Structure 1
Amino acid sequence: MSSLTQPATTFRQAAADGYSLGGFCWRHAQPDSQRPLVIINAATSVRCRYYSRFANYLFAHGCDVLTYDYRGIGESRPHALRGFQASWSDWGRLDFEAMLAHAATQFPGQPVSVVGHSFGGCAVGLAPSAGQVRRVLMVGAQFAYWRDYAPEQRWRLLGKWHVAMPLLTRLFGYFPGKRLGWMEDTPTGVVKDWTARTDRYEHRPSGRYLPEMPFAQVRAATLAISLTDDPFGTVAATERLLSYLQGAERWHLRIAPVDISVEQIGHFAFFHDRFRAILWPIALQWVKCGSLPANGPGQLIR
């Protein structure tokens, strides 16, 4: 994990149900109603500190930035996870919604953009106030329908995430991902949502808690970036999520490692510092301007 870089400060924000969420803020000294505020939604069970260097990059190039941990993770983890109630839908409808409320009170009038990694892209469409978001950038975004995994890894991933993970969760009362070196420890409800084998988000266990069809309120211009060597964020998985965003303009940018002269990128490395000069400008220009750099890598599909 990367360490936090200055000038980040800590903050806490209560969700609508009273749960206290922790995060980090990069904020310029002088307010500016035209300055974009970027909220970074993490991948499932990845601490928000993972995105600190990327957040600092956005800050250095004229954005205010918020990162935060969903309930049960990192800065928002309770004393004990056994028996702790949290689901994917909670992470979107309560926790991301709380960040939108924080934005409205602490950054009034500033345009809001969201960078969503993996499930973090899905979380955007679960918040009741998602309509206030101006732009969305998704990276490897999907909701883990197993048939969408890359064919050459599908059965291994099915065994790891959809067989071993729920069995271990049942045994421990939460998923002990940290001791396995897989990811952060994860609440049971999140595991149930992740490992459900339905191709529809609203049919996941926590989908019943959503007040209406998820994603319908999203009106933001949305760019989904997928990497050709990402076994989760395949074309099928990315397009499945984008198909929910009927009220938004949507673009899909498909980038291969060879496009940027590297051997691999995968599901996580887009946010690694080594791609600061190659991939991060794509994100910056999208959240600030809603456009792509000239002669940038990848194949764009509208």
Structure 2
Amino acid sequence: MQEPVSLTCEDGQVLSATLFRPSEPLKGAVLIAPATGIKRQFYTAFAQFLNRQGFAVLTFDNRGIGESLNTLLKCCKADLVSWGQQDMPAALEALIQFYPEQPYFLVGHSAGGQLVGLMPNAHKLAAFINFGSSSGSLRNMPKRYRLKAHFFMNMFIPLSNLLFGHTKSQWVGMGEPLPKGVARQWQQWCNGSGYVKTAFGQQIKQHNYDSLTIPSKWIVASDDAIANRKNLKEMMAVYQGSRARSCILYPSAFGLDEIGHMRFFSRHAERLWPLITNFFDEYLHPSPHMM
């Protein structure tokens, strides 16, 4: 069963979310943290799968995205830092209120996994697992894709922000239209020393990347030009204290033509999803420091 719910962030911003209630006996609760510019409906089939395995699930739209856009996009003040420091923590707190005293997990897709270290309440998670999360550094991307990425980041984003007051990323197949602050930080971080790390001491004054010790698993696809091996290694290094492990998925090994950066959450890739629940099953009994 799924129902629409509203979340209120610490700064008063209201977000739209969907709560998936399992019919099976409850094993734990999962927050799905979305990729940049991706609406929560994209993860519905995956959330329903988790429900069938006995997990309650919460999906949500970050501020400025989907149904969480409650102003003109050009007036939206959202940025990546506010997603990590305000939106994701509010979603986790809501999940805890709906299902108290459970082991809590987070599934991060791309940005959703990169921003976990910004959450002041991330220590309440029993573990987190990411797909397609990496530093996003342009310099590490394959040459052919790097040209496309440079065009989007360093030409399309600045020009679109200048002309429209936001980034029309939907024009180039990059998800929903983005608030200019989100797109600007995305550009800066991917051009710099890597996602998030570039902003330490500048846009980011406080974070938990060094101190977060909860277990994590990082999954990337061999055919993902963005979250490639080098960028994965860079991002995992930012989470210095996490007990992290990683794996690379080869589409042919699962009878798939493609996984890339987005198709892990497609219904066609459902055979991959037990990788998530098998990881959760290792951490179903929260330790005292998470209570």
Shift of 1:262: 2.5
Q: Secondary structure at the match of 2:128?
A: strand
Letter in 2 for 1:280: W
Contact 1:144-1:195 at 8 Å conserved across structures = no
Contact 2:135-2:227 at 8 Å conserved across structures = no
Tell me which residue corresponds to 2:289. Answer: none
Tell me which residue corresponds to 1:103. Answer: 95
Is residue 288 of structure 2 the alignment partner of residue 288 of structure 1?
Answer: no
Shift of 1:199: 1.1
* Separation in structure 1 between the aligned mates of residue 128 and residue 211 of structure 2, nearest angstrom: 13
Which of 269, 274, 279 aligns to 2:272? It is: 279
Contact 1:218-1:247 at 8 Å conserved across structures = yes
* Separation in structure 2 between the aligned mates of residue 68 and residue 266 of structure 1, nearest angstrom: 23
Tell me which residue corresponds to 1:56. Answer: 48
Contact 1:175-1:191 at 8 Å conserved across structures = yes
Give runs of aligned pairs for residues 115-154 of structure 1, distance below 5 A: 115-154=107-146
Gaps of 5+ in 2: 285-291
Q: Secondary structure at the match of 2:143?
A: coil
| Structure 1 residues 54 and 178: CA distance shift in structure 2, 3 A | same
Deviations 1:144-199 (A, max 9, x none): 22112233311222112332122212211011223554310101111111101111
Give runs of aligned pairs for residues 246-285 of structure 1, distance below 5 A: 246-276=240-270, 278-285=271-278
Deviations 1:1-23 (A, max 9, x none): xxxxxx21011110000000111
Tell me which residue corresponds to 1:16. Answer: 10
Tell me which residue corresponds to 1:70. Answer: 62
Identity %: 26
Is residue 195 of structure 2 the alignment partner of residue 203 of structure 1?
Answer: no
Contact 1:133-1:219 at 8 Å conserved across structures = no
When normalised by structure 2's length, the TM-score is 0.90
* Separation in structure 2 between the aligned mates of residue 145 and residue 163 of structure 1, nearest angstrom: 16
Is residue 154 of structure 2 the alignment partner of residue 162 of structure 1?
Answer: yes
Deviations 1:236-289 (A, max 9, x none): 11111111112211101011122223222110000010111x201111111232
Which of 27, 38, 49 aligns to 2:30? It is: 38
| Structure 1 residues 244 and 107: CA distance shift in structure 2, 3 A | same
Q: Secondary structure at the match of 2:144?
A: coil
Letter in 2 for 1:285: N
Tell me which residue corresponds to 2:73. Answer: 81
The count of corresponding residues between Structure 1 and Structure 2 is: 281
Deviations 1:75-99 (A, max 9, x none): 2112311131011110010000101
Contact 2:24-2:54 at 8 Å conserved across structures = no
| Structure 1 residues 154 and 186: CA distance shift in structure 2, 3 A | same
Contact 2:63-2:87 at 8 Å conserved across structures = yes
Tell me which residue corresponds to 2:218. Answer: 224
* Separation in structure 1 between the aligned mates of residue 181 and residue 174 of structure 2, nearest angstrom: 18
When normalised by structure 1's length, the TM-score is 0.87
| Structure 1 residues 245 and 181: CA distance shift in structure 2, 3 A | closer
Which of 10-19 and 94-103 deviates more?
94-103
* Separation in structure 2 between the aligned mates of residue 56 and residue 73 of structure 1, nearest angstrom: 22
CA-atom RMSD in angstroms: 2.0
* Separation in structure 1 between the aligned mates of residue 32 and residue 201 of structure 2, nearest angstrom: 23
* Separation in structure 1 between the aligned mates of residue 115 and residue 109 of structure 2, nearest angstrom: 10
Contact 2:23-2:51 at 8 Å conserved across structures = no
Shift of 1:212: 2.3
Which of 236, 242, 250 aligns to 1:242? It is: 236
Tell me which residue corresponds to 1:172. Answer: 164
Contact 1:125-1:218 at 8 Å conserved across structures = yes
